[in-house]
């Protein structure tokens, strides 16, 4: 699918479908919708008066123009109340229009630059959101499904339209950035939706390697022998029960000036989490192919960062292993030694994510990272605390936490901070090792983060627990129906968040 920007007015665009926005509560359509309304003899105004069109977010109404405009159809899409407007509304509206166009078997359509000037939204920001919304909303995981008659038509071309040349130039940049970010997200979704018999640690490594090769950044994979030699005992222990060996995927993108600081992104890559010897019940295991969503996000982020040629240095680490019970599996009460030399008493083999992260975090410190953000489907406790509405964030540095918060505000990937008070550390005290791997059920998202803090020293660090936000099943208590750019399955959460974080971090690293 292609997306581009075009200079034209709403009455000039020849297209099978042209989308214009209206706000809820405006008594008559104004702006582009007003111009269309006039050309159609007051049709939209009539629909509003008859309450058939309200302007609520994600409402879309298609009318035929019957030769009164060069566009064959107009899609009137709701942008909600002006007072509630934010950039996510544009992302949502764009996905709504894209899905409507697909439903109508329209292979190409045009959309006016939506929400321009509303709540300070610039042409570039609107274009980014339009592009993201369409690419994310149209996503499907189709690798294993043969096409049937119900398989929807592919949208081939989307044109974003503005009448002002400066807006068109900004929109051209915006649609490109949005497309690159969304393709990073969709790559992460493909990896996370992929079945665990396909998406093994080696598959993650191969994927990372081929992206790195294509885009000219470095990718090194530490296989079991290299992990052993480096004393990366956490990754080795978690992976030793599976016939698919574990690995640490080390990606380095050097876009910064020589000698400039490095940002590290670290992802949990458990390609299947059975719980290990502390095996999960069947229900709890069913979604555990998604337990590598953190690693998938880091790989998707690296692809997007390199395609955007960001002017910074990034170390991307994905800790990949499969957590299975077997005669060679690690056991509860084993003591393992992490890369930084700390010894860990394994209290529960289902608390495996923190072990693979321990080596990767310590390695990021060792490699001189100036800031570290890790993404992990780490704890059921985070879902108990925040549901599937937000990711939990915890960290050791207020300024980096604030950066993550602002980034999340911009991308619509909600985060909420949980405290890392020292009282929580009590639960991790071990009589025979430097730390236990897990504590009680209480505050388990926090104790997990506390455990991770053992491996970052004083480097500014934020941990993002994406257990509740990495995938949405239609049966979930909260399913984001209001966000049509999140189809069910893997969300690819974290890719756009990381992009938004480094954009901010780069200004004051």
Residues near Zn ion (CB under 5 A) are 270, 273, 291, 350, 352-353
Q: Which region among 50-58, 62-70, 377-385, 406-414 touches ligand BES (by CB under 6 A)? A: 377-385
Residue 377 in contact with ligand BES, rule: CB under 6 A: yes
User: Residue from 35, 242, 379, 411 that binds ligand BES (CB under 6 A)?
Assistant: 379
By CB under 6 A, is residue 359 in contact with ligand BES?
Answer: no
- Between CA 331 and CA 86 the distance in angstroms is 49
Query: Does the footprint of ligand BES cover residue 380 (CB under 6 A)?
Result: yes
Q: What is the dihedral of CA 27, 28, 30, 36, to 10 degrees?
A: 150
Site membership for ligand BES, residue 184 (CB under 6 A): no
Q: Which stretch binds ligand BES (CB under 6 A): 181-189, 242-250, 337-345, 351-359?
A: 351-359
User: Closer to ligand BES at the Cβ: 343 or 348?
Assistant: 348
Task: Check 230, 252, 280, 504 and give the catalytic one.
Answer: 280
Which of Zn ion, ligand BES, none does residue 186 bind (CB under 5 to 8 Å by kind)? none
444 interacts with, out of Zn ion, ligand BES, none, CB within 5 to 8 A per kind: ligand BES
Q: Which is nearer to Zn ion, 261 or 280 (CB)?
A: 280
Phi/psi at 122 (5° precision)? -90, 170
Element (H, E) at 250: strand 247-254
Q: Determine contact, residues 242/321, Cβ cutoff 8 Å.
A: yes
CB-based contact 468:413 (threshold 8 Å):
no
**CB contact at 8 A, 310 and 362:** no
Tokens of 170: 């900004």
Nearest to 163 by CA among 29, 33, 32, 16: 32
Q: Quick check: 132 binds ligand BES (CB under 6 A)? A: no
Burial 483-492 (b: 16+ CB within 10 A, else e): bbbbbebbbb
Q: Does 190 bind ligand BES (CB under 6 A)?
A: no
- In the complex with Zn ion, the residue whose CB is nearer, 353 or 489, is 353
Other beta carbons within 10 angstroms of residue 143's beta carbon come to 10
The secondary structure element, H or E, covering residue 461 is: strand 461-465
Q: With CB cut-offs between 5 and 8 Å by kind, which of Zn ion, ligand BES, none does residue 155 bind?
A: none
* Residues of span 18-77 touching ligand BES by CB under 6 A: none
**Which x/- pattern over 282-301 shows residues binding ligand BES (rule: CB under 6 A)?**
---------x----------
For 426, the 3-state DSSP assignment is: helix
Contact criterion met (CB below 8 Å) for 40 and 201: no
Complete DSSP assignment for 174-200: HHHHHHHHHHHHHHHHHHHHS-TTTS-
Q: Does 116 bind ligand BES (CB under 6 A)?
A: no
350 scored as a contact of ligand BES (CB under 6 A): yes
Residue in this structure with the two tokens 């209290």, named with its chain if needed = 347
> Any catalytic annotation for residue 342?
no
CB burial of 16-26 (b: ≥16 within 10 Å; e: otherwise) equals ebbbbbbbbeb
Please give the order of strands across the beta sheet that includes 157-162: 2-7, 157-162, 108-112, 18-24, 73-81, 60-64
Residue 16 touching ligand BES (CB under 6 A): no
Residue number, 130 or 346, with CB nearest to ligand BES: 346
The single residue among 381, 395, 492, 494 that binds ligand BES, judged by CB under 6 A, is 381
**Segment contacting ligand BES by CB under 6 A, of 192-200, 301-309, 355-363, 374-382:** 374-382
Phi and psi, residue 336, nearest 5°? -120, 160
The 444-473 contact track toward ligand BES, x by CB under 6 A, reads x----------------------x------
| Window contacting ligand BES (CB under 6 A); options: 179-187, 344-352, 388-396, 410-418 | 344-352
Give the length of the chain.
Answer: 509
Instruction: State the Cα angle at 179 between 260 and 287, rounded to 5°.
Output: 90
Residues 255-274, one symbol each (x = binds ligand BES by CB under 6 A, - = not), give ------------------x-
Residue 381 interacts with which of Zn ion, ligand BES, none, CB < 5 to 8 Å by class: ligand BES
Q: Using the rule CB under 6 A, is 353 a contact of ligand BES? A: yes
**Distance of closest approach, residue 290 Cβ to Zn ion, in angstroms:** 9
Catalytic residue among 100, 354, 436, 496: 354
Measured from the CB atom, is 198 or 286 closer to ligand BES? 286
Cα 359 → chain centroid: 23
Shortest Å, Cβ 280 to ligand BES: 7
Residues 6+ apart with CB under 8 A from 334: 237, 345, 346
Whether 280 is a known active-site residue: answer: yes
Question: Residue 421: helix, strand or coil by DSSP?
Answer: coil
Whole-angstrom Cα distance, residue 322 to residue 244?
A: 7
Q: Which of 116, 314, 321, 351 binds ligand BES (CB under 6 A)?
A: 351
Positions in the binding site for ligand BES (CB under 6 A)? 273, 291, 348, 350-353, 377-381, 383, 438, 444, 467
Catalogue the active-site residues. Answer: 280, 354
């Amino acid at each position: 699918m292609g997306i581009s920007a075009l200079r034209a007015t709403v009455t000039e665009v020849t297209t099978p479908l042209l989308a214009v926005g209206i706000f809820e509560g405006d008594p008559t359509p104004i702006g582009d919708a007003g111009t269309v309304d006039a050309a159609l003899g007051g049709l939209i105004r009539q629909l509003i008066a008859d309450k058939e069109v309200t302007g609520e977010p994600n409402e879309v109404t298609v009318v035929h123009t019957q030769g009164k405009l060069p566009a064959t159809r107009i899609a009137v899409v709701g942008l909600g109340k002006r007072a509630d407007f934010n950039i996510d509304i544009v992302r949502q509206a764009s996905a709504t229009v894209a899905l409507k166009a697909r439903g109508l078997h329209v292979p190409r359509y045009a959309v006016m630059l939506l929400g321009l000037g509303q709540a300070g939204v610039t042409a570039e920001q609107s274009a980014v959101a339009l592009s993201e919304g369409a690419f994310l909303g149209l996503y499907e995981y189709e690798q294993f499904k043969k096409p049937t008659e119900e398989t929807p038509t592919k949208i081939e071309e989307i044109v974003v339209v503005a009448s002002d040349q400066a807006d068109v130039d900004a929109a051209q940049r915006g649609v490109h950035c949005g497309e690159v970010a969304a393709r990073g997200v969709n790559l992460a979704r493909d990896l996370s939706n992929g079945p665990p018999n396909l998406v093994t640690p080696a598959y993650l490594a191969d994927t990372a390697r081929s992206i790195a090769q294509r885009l000219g950044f470095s990718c090194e994979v530490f296989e079991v022998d290299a992990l052993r030699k480096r004393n990366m005992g956490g990754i080795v222990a978690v992976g030793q029960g599976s016939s698919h060996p574990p690995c640490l995927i080390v990606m380095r993108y050097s876009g910064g000036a020589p000698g400039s600081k490095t940002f590290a992104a670290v992802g949990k890559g458990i390609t299947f989490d059975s719980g290990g010897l502390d095996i999960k019940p069947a229900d709890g295991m069913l979604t555990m192919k998604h337990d590598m969503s953190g690693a998938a996000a880091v790989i998707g982020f690296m692809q997007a960062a390199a395609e955007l040629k960001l002017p910074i240095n990034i170390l991307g680490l994905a800790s990949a292993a499969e957590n299975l019970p077997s005669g060679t599996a690690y056991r509860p009460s084993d003591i393992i030694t992490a890369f930084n030399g700390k010894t860990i008493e394994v209290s529960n083999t289902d608390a495996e994510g923190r072990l693979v992260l321990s080596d990767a975090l310590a390695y990021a410190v060792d490699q001189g990272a100036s800031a570290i953000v890790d993404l992990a489907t780490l704890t059921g406790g985070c879902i108990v605390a925040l549901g599937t509405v937000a990711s939990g964030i915890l960290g050791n540095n207020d300024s980096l936490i604030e950066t993550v918060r602002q980034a999340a505000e911009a991308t619509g990937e909600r985060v909420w901070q949980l405290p890392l008070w020292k009282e929580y550390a009590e639960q991790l005290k071990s009589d025979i090792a430097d730390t236990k791997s897990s504590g009680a059920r209480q505050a388990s998202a926090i104790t997990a983060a506390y455990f991770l803090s053992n491996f970052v020293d004083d480097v500014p660090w934020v941990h993002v627990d994406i257990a509740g936000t990495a995938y949405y099943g239609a049966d979930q208590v909260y399913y984001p129906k209001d966000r049509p750019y999140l189809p069910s399955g893997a969300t690819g959460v974290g890719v756009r968040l990381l992009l938004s974080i480094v954009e901010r971090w780069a200004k004051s690293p």
